[in-house]
Amino acid sequence: MRVLLVEDDRRIAADITGALQAAGYVVETVADGEEAWFLGDTEDYGAIVLDLGLPGMDGLAVLKRWRANGRQTPVLVVTARGSWAERVDGIDAGADDYIPKPFRMEELLARLRSIIRRSAGHASSVVDIGDISFDIRQMKVFLRGAPVALSPLEYRLVTYLLLRRGRVVPQQELSENLYGQTDAHDPNAIEVLIGRVRKKLGSQVIETRRGFGYLFPEPAE
């Protein structure tokens, strides 16, 4: 899943980027408010981690513009501004959650997972679909109660489709969210990856819509 990190402190940005990548996210980092506004308004991200004190344009102004333009990407505000009034301003501007500096990286990751789940309509970190159980917090998958060994890339594919269950996801979108826009990879890599997942979780877990993309179907009534 692609995450946009907006943070002008290089050390903090490097720390957050490392933690996000270790958790399986594809991270794009910017340090300027104007650039953040443009990317958030023109690109599709699974979530955005947004600092408020930015050069070029204040983070609150960036967030307000996104929301005014109808962009509903989940946003986690991270800032040194710790007063309750500023937190209220962030929520009122459209933030999905707010974490003040300093923070523990584990909390940031937990809050990020939470806003992503909520945006997809999942209140719990565990999602059961038929014989398959997905534990998003622990990053584990079970088939009929037995753990399934998925590679990090296979897990990222499964969770991305899971959080968009019922929607056909184009191959290009999957590719960008699994590999990033700049990483070179085989054009057939997505099909190969999906084939590996089907062998582990079942042939029906992911549907192919030729010419359109891939679908994690809704469970049968």
Give me the pLDDT at residue 5, please.
97
**pTM as predicted:** 0.75
Residue 65 has pLDDT above 60, yes or no: yes
Give me the pLDDT at residue 184, please.
52
Pair (6, 115) in one structural domain: yes
The domain of 42 spans: 2-119
Q: Would 46 be classed as within a structural domain?
A: yes
156 falls in which pLDDT band (50, 70, 90)?
confident
159 falls in which pLDDT band (50, 70, 90)?
confident
Pair (115, 64) in one structural domain: yes
Domain end, chosen from 92, 119, 146, is at 119
Give me the pLDDT at residue 21, please.
93
| Euclidean distance between CA atoms 121 and 77, whole angstroms | 20
Q: Would 69 be classed as within a structural domain?
A: yes
166 falls in which pLDDT band (50, 70, 90)?
confident
CATH number of the domain that 204 lies in? 1.10.10.10
Could you give the number of structural domains in the chain?
A: 2
Pair (114, 174) in one structural domain: no
pLDDT, averaged across the chain: 87
Give the CA-trace dihedral at 9, 15, 19, 22, to 10 degrees: 120
For 81-96, give one letter per residue: b (16+ CB within 10 A) or e: beeeebbebbeebbbb
Q: Would 203 be classed as within a structural domain?
A: yes
* Torsion angles phi and psi, residue 129, rounded to 5: -130, 105
Domain end, chosen from 62, 86, 119, is at 119
Pair (70, 136) in one structural domain: no
| Euclidean distance between CA atoms 72 and 66, whole angstroms | 8
| Cβ-based neighbours of 114, under 8 Å, separated by 6 or more | 97
Q: What percent of the chain has pLDDT over 90?
A: 43
